[in-house]
Amino acid sequence: MPTPVAAAVETKAASRQSVVLSQLLALGSAPRREEIESLLAPELSRWRTSPSHATRLLGGLSQGQAASDLAEQILSLMQGSRVLVNIYHANAAVGASERSQQWRQALSLVRKMPEMEVKPDEITYSSALSACAKGERWHLALLLLRRMQQQRLPPNRFSYSAGISACERSGRWQLALSFLRHTMPESRVAADEFGFCSAISGCSKVGQWSLALLLLGSMPQDRLAPSAMSCSAAISACEKAGQWLSGLALLGEMPALRATADSISCNAAISACEKGAQWEPALCLLGKMCHMRLAPNEISLNSAISACEAASEWQLSLLLLSKMPDLMLAPDEISYNAAISACERATWRSAA
């Protein structure tokens, strides 16, 4: 346990790092090396004896492209100032690029690590893979997984899950399934819920709702209990395919699966009812949300209004629209358009 004096010193150092970080980010999108060096000059000598302070600062750079560019420049400056760059510094920089969704900078840092005499590890590659997933660069994610194997770094569940996510976001759902159901078992790597959710979402995007339900049902075989997140992904798959009955059935089965329904799963089920023009179950679900102490949001109300609109229930559409302010919700363009459309449908039917 640190002494009071050591704790005070550490607190002071953390406060100083916070100030320096703010000053660095204030330099803008294209800071000059001289500006960075001027700000960091007092810190570099401290980093030689306390390298963890540099890790902390690098880890805080996660606010856009300027931050990820800064991370690369700071590492270069550390090298030039004879501050030993270690794996923690490099991983903090790659992680900052990943959080700021800058896949190019993340890969650039991974490529330059050998020049810093730092060998990438599983954390490095997992962060870079996640950056590729956010950038929808599935082919680069596959190259990273291959490079891990070449460097005798067996991909772990985090690496594979990031790879599955990259495939899912890029519309390569079959490849995502191949990783989940073939590559990972063959590599004796247990899948996690994130990997399953990504694969289910991939199926959802191409209308493979039955396959999404099969994946959800197979999770216990991998010793994973379906949660609200995975159930919501499967309900969304039913919604996108117009399978409102299957979506409602899954929502009803969640307690048996020991999964607690949340706003996302309820909204997905209401949206499924909307797609099927099923206004009655949509309104029933809206009422149940209040009993479950789940506050309906704009998505909930808009889906219910649209369900009434699809069934030409214009009076109910207007009633729901009028109730939104009571729920502290502001009607938006979708709300008004759905209610107006419901009235138009009723007018056309009367004229006919």
Tokens of 67: 């931050």
Angle between helix 33-49 and 51-59 (nearest 10): 140
**Can you give the pLDDT at residue 30?**
73
The confidence score (pLDDT) of residue 352 equals 46
Q: Give the pLDDT confidence score for residue 12 in this predicted structure.
A: 62
* Distance (Å) of CA 175 to CA 60, 95, 103, 183: 34, 26, 21, 10
Cα 93 from Cα 96, distance rounded (Å) = 5
Q: From residue 90, how far is each of 59, 71, 94 by CA, in Å? A: 10, 9, 6
Q: Are 320 and 301 in contact (CB under 8 A)?
A: yes
Alpha carbons 173 and 55: distance in angstroms, whole number: 37
Runs of H (alpha helix) within the chain: 4-25, 33-49, 51-59, 65-80, 87-99, 103-112, 122-134, 138-150, 157-169, 173-178, 184-186, 193-205, 209-218, 228-240, 244-253, 263-275, 279-291, 298-310, 314-323, 333-351
- The amino acid present at 42, given as its one-letter code, is P
Distance CA 306, CA 316 (A): 10
User: Rounded to a whole number, what is the distance in angstroms from the first to the last CA of the chain?
Assistant: 82
Phi, psi dihedrals of residue 191, rounded to the nearest 5° = -75, 155
Packing angle of the helix pair 209-218, 193-205 (nearest 10 deg): 170
Place of tokens 């500006």: 35
Q: What is the pLDDT along the chain (352 residues), one digit of tens a residue?
A: 556 555 555 566 667 777 877 787 777 767 788 888 888 888 888 888 888 888 888 887 765 555 667 888 888 888 888 888 999 999 999 998 898 888 999 999 999 999 899 999 999 999 999 999 999 999 999 999 999 999 999 999 999 999 999 999 999 999 999 999 999 999 999 999 999 999 999 999 999 999 999 999 999 999 999 999 999 999 999 999 999 999 999 999 999 999 999 999 999 999 999 989 899 999 999 999 988 889 999 999 999 999 999 888 889 999 999 999 999 999 999 999 989 988 887 665 554 4
Name the nearest CA neighbour of 92 among 71, 78, 108, 77. 71
Residues 6+ apart with CB under 8 A from 26: none
Q: Are 69 and 24 in contact (CB under 8 A)?
A: no
Tell me the Ramachandran region of residue 293: left when phi exceeds 0, alpha when psi lies from -120 to 50, beta otherwise: left
One-letter amino acid for residue 339 of the chain = A
CA-CA distance, 82 to 187, in Å (whole number)?
Answer: 41
Cα distance between residue 246 and residue 76, in whole Å:
55
- Report how far residue 270's alpha carbon sits from residue 152's, in angstroms, rounded to the nearest whole number: 48
